[in-house]
Amino acid sequence: MRYDAGEVITAMVTPMNQKREIDYNKVEALTKHLISHGSDAVLVCGTTGESPTLTYEEEVELISTVKRANANKAKVIAGAGSNSTETAVKSAKLAQKEDVDAILSVVPYYNKPSQKGMIEHFSAVAESVDLPIILYNIPSRTGVTMQPSTVAYLAGKYDNIVALKQSSGDLDLLSETRILCPDDFVIYSGDDSLTLPMLAVGAHGVISVASHLFGSEIKSMIRNFKTGELLAARNMHKKLFPVFKKLFMAPNPVPVKAALAYKGLIEEYVRRPLVELTDDEKITLFTAIDGCFAD
């Protein structure tokens, strides 16, 4: 493989206090926790990190804090996408200046570019930095799907476009992408609940939300699949599946922040326009978490 960030990448939340200011002490502690519980890499300043509400200054401080806490034990990836090509390029350059290991660059959202527009957008990003780039296809948020032929074109043209986070929920789309792209092009599941089936059709691992809570278990599921222990992998998937689904019972990262607060790792606060879970929603979520390995 040209680039391998590992099998479990955690799309890390941004801990905040009651004033909805970033709690950098909790950022440092959470980074250490994730690395010691199955995460091969952490992704900061992504959607799970509430990137739409972060300032450039906060992003720089977040990256710096995570890198310091990480102490070269895992890779650090920065979310650096935008629906403006100029801004995406600026964000990519900023991430490179902060010496991250790679960037995640999302399909431009809201303005719904054509496939040609996507090619021009990602070409500009790829030509602006030397960093490895993970493309991010998530039609539910962007309103448009990056087609496998577009991914393949970009992967073939640019050596630093090395991977894809596929959050389309479409296994056929993943299969076609795997067929069209070079063998060393890495594909990550962007949906925890689809990680196991996506592994079967060519994914390498997952960029995960649930790994905040069950990183080692997800890592075990992936390892078991790859070593032919299919029953063990399937059984782990079945145990974790209720939590995979409940973590998206409200807009991400609201549920996972509530879950981390329940575990005493951070506070639950999110920035507006997101709002915290209701008490009834918390009961539903926490019951699923506690029930994972109850038997």
Q: pLDDT tens for residues 176-200?
A: 999 999 999 999 999 999 999 999 9
Distances (CA, A) of 97 to 60, 92, 100: 10, 9, 8
Q: Where are the domains of the chain?
A: 8-229
What percent of the chain has pLDDT above 90?
97
pLDDT at 293: 80
Which residues face 186 on adjacent strands?
163
Has residue 23 got a pLDDT over 50? yes
C-alpha span between 154 and 171 (Å, rounded)? 20
Of the pLDDT bands very low, low, confident and very high (cuts 50, 70, 90), residue 74 is: very high
Q: Which amino acid is at 279?
A: D
CATH architecture of the domain with residue range 8-229: Alpha-Beta Barrel (3.20)
203-208: list long-range contacts, CB under 8 Å, 24+ apart. 203/166, 203/174, 204/1, 204/4, 204/7, 205/6, 205/7, 205/8, 205/9, 205/40, 206/7, 206/8, 206/9, 207/9, 207/10, 207/11, 207/43, 207/104, 207/134, 207/165, 208/8, 208/9, 208/10, 208/11
Has residue 294 got a pLDDT over 80? no
pLDDT at 295: 66
What percent of the chain has pLDDT above 70?
99
pLDDT at 163: 98
Q: Is the dihedral of CA 25, 30, 33, 34 positive or negative?
A: negative
pLDDT one-digit tens code per residue, 125-162:
999 999 999 999 999 999 999 999 999 999 999 999 99
C-alpha span between 79 and 92 (Å, rounded)? 9
pLDDT at 233: 98
Over the chain, what is the mean pLDDT? 96
Residues belonging to the active site: 136, 165
Report the pLDDT averaged over residues 54-74.
95
C-alpha span between 58 and 46 (Å, rounded)? 13
pLDDT one-digit tens code per residue, 217-248:
999 999 999 999 999 999 999 999 999 999 99
C-alpha span between 244 and 138 (Å, rounded)? 17
Q: List all residues 6 or more positions away from 189 whose beta carbon is below 8 Å from its beta carbon.
A: 165, 166, 167, 195, 198, 199, 203, 205, 206, 207
Strands 161-166 and 41-44: unpaired
C-alpha span between 45 and 81 (Å, rounded)? 10
H or E stretch covering 77: strand 75-79
pLDDT at 1: 47
H or E stretch covering 76: strand 75-79
